Structure 1
């Protein structure tokens, strides 16, 4: 019988023996529609105990992998700069230990301080962005650092040409024009592989890439999204890339009283772990 613990299922290896470490970033300070993603990391962990550790799609069991879960970063309420600092410190410490990381958000803004650190640690960092929203605004409601601007801020760090977008179906005309400049939206796997090569890759998965009928528990639901099978196949296609880190963000679990959204999110995390270490 599975016993629910405070770590993601099967991910209980000691830090020193782990190739990959999970940490939570329970922050939703700029959520503009439906806050609540701060509750996601623990809900994802809890829901993971409804899954098996074995994935038949990957023929992998995450219990056989060297994965640890170090829990959540503790944040002061409402102080964005201190939140950034704590995420950066956590990421930097794990990077210095040569650990891959998977962060459980939290809202999408948590990706920015992670990329700040990894961009300094790796040359030619590439980012694969899975999302319903472009998140490429210059500012949102007068704010430069927001869940709606996070990819624009990241593009200023690593270059817009190094970001590859999948699932985007919502944004301003200006945002879509930015993406169109480099033709990096929903590109085929063969082209993506050619562009990335052996360069380090970071995956950021905003769960609202999924259709609202599959995952209603999110901060900014957007109809017309991927099926779970389509997202799973996309993640599977990234096996073999030099993936150095990932995050799964924007689950707002309390908007889905059935708990199904949290279970879906947990399986996305399991698939991501298998993709990263497969």
Structure 2
């Protein structure tokens, strides 16, 4: 059957939903072409069906396809950012990484190598998980491509800087501690956003502070508001290459019930989207959206929220130049810093 796609600025875009019903055809993210249909891409979207690192409810291995199904309703024009991401850049769905569900060390190595392969020509990468364990290999790859440690914005109910679970160093609660230890994060520019809920003890916060993380709690977002939060985050990040990691449990369970470790008192989907939109012009070199567990997702609320988060992240990256080397990435990082300064005046 012929695919009736939108083409603009030489980019092959999504299937035209005015001519092909949204519920028809294979589910790629936002009904975009597959990577093999375009050859090269500016932004690759890839799934990682892996949840062997979870400590409570499993099921995020099914998250990527759940988000793809929910993304059928996305449209080519993003009015919130006055941008057409699929016209600005060639965006394609790269399918899913084939990772070992029984060997977490092998899975981490596979994810890292796949991420390096997908970005070898300068493409930026959006990954849909999967549990938060996958952030570590993705950060390794992003730092290697950038040629330097990267800034990090980590949206999550939890810190994910614990040391071990049951003696295991690689889990969904430990990736950012490992990333700091490995020197792949710029510790002058790393922040959690949306954290809340009980901890194992005060030492959790002390360790986190020692690693260099700033913390914006969900209460901070509520009391201070999106604009103040965005201003402080932008100041902290500056022009550095930025990786954005979004655990969907940053949202209140009312907005995202379909996740493995829900916590009451989270931010709204509107607040999350507005904070992400406030990052416009920063040098987002990569991003992930993780911990979507469809088995607990009543009325597909979580899948819909995650698809819009991914869409806004793609929009941000679509406005940035394709970088072919670490030197090019540093150059674009400098340009982003100038844009940030101009925007603040």
TM over 0.5: yes
For the residue of structure 1 that corresponds to 2:284, the secondary structure is: strand
Q: TM-score, normalised by structure 1?
A: 0.93
- Out of 59, 63, 81, which is 1:36 matched to? 59
Whether the 8 Å contact between 1:5 and 1:46 is mirrored in structure 2 is no
Q: Report the 3-state secondary structure (helix = DSSP H, G, I; strand = E; otherwise coil) of the residue aligned with 1:71.
A: strand
Where does residue 127 of structure 1 map in the other structure? Answer: 152
Select 1:108's aligned residue among 125, 132, 146.
Answer: 132
The superposition leaves residues 146-199 of structure 1 with CA deviations (integer Å, 9 ceiling, x where unpaired) of 111111111212254432110111333222223344461128433433332221
Instruction: Pick the aligned partner of 1:245 from 275, 286, 299.
Output: 286
CA distance in 1, matches of 2:291, 2:100: 19
Shift of 1:80: 1.0
What is the aligned partner in structure 2 of residue 276 from structure 1?
A: 317
Deviates more, 1:145-154 or 1:8-17: 8-17
RMSD: 1.9
Deviation at 1:270? 0.9
- Residue number among 185, 194, 205 corresponding to 1:167 in the alignment: 194
Q: 1:179 aligns with which of 201, 205, 208?
A: 208
Q: Which residue matches 1:206?
A: 247
Asked if 1:11 is matched to 2:52, the reply is no
Task: Say whether the 8 Å CA contact 1:4–1:46 is kept in structure 2.
Answer: no
Q: Is the 8 A contact 1:10 1:53 kept in 2?
A: no
CA contact (8 A) 1:132 1:225 kept: yes
Is residue 152 of structure 1 aligned with residue 177 of structure 2? yes
Distance 1:271 1:118 in 2: 19
Q: 2:165 aligns with which of 137, 140, 144?
A: 140
Point out where structure 2 has 5 or more consecutive residues left out of the alignment: 1-20, 217-227, 320-345
8 A Cα contact 2:27 2:72, kept in partner: no
1:21 equivalent in alignment to 2:44: yes
Question: Structure 1 residues 179-188 or 27-36, which shifts more?
Answer: 179-188
The structure with more radius of gyration: 2
Q: Deviations over 1:61-86 (max 9, x none)?
A: 33323101110011223111221121
Deviates more, 1:9-18 or 1:86-95: 9-18
| Counterpart Cα distance in 2 of 1:128 and 1:195 | 10
The residue that corresponds to 2:98 in the other structure is 74
Q: How far 1:100 sits from its partner (Å)?
A: 0.2
The unaligned stretches of length 5 or more in structure 1 are none
What TM-score, normalized by structure 2, do the two folds share?
A: 0.76
Greater mean alpha carbon deviation, residues 206-215 or residues 120-129: 120-129
1:206-265 Cα distance to aligned partner (Å, 9 max, x none): 000000011100000011000111101110011111111000000001112422221121
Tell me the alpha carbon deviations over residues 40-61 of structure 1, each in whole angstroms, 9 at most, x when there is no partner.
1011111111333322211223
**Corresponding residue for residue 258 of structure 1:** 299
Local SS of the residue matching 1:245: strand
Aligned twin of 1:193: 234
Question: How far apart are the structure 1 equivalents of 2:74 and 2:159?
Answer: 31
Distance 1:197 1:53, change over 3 A: same
Q: 2:285 aligns to what SS in structure 1?
A: strand
CA distance in 1, matches of 2:238, 2:174: 28
1:38-77 correspondence runs (5 A): 38-64=61-87, 65-77=89-101
CA contact (8 A) 1:107 1:147 kept: yes
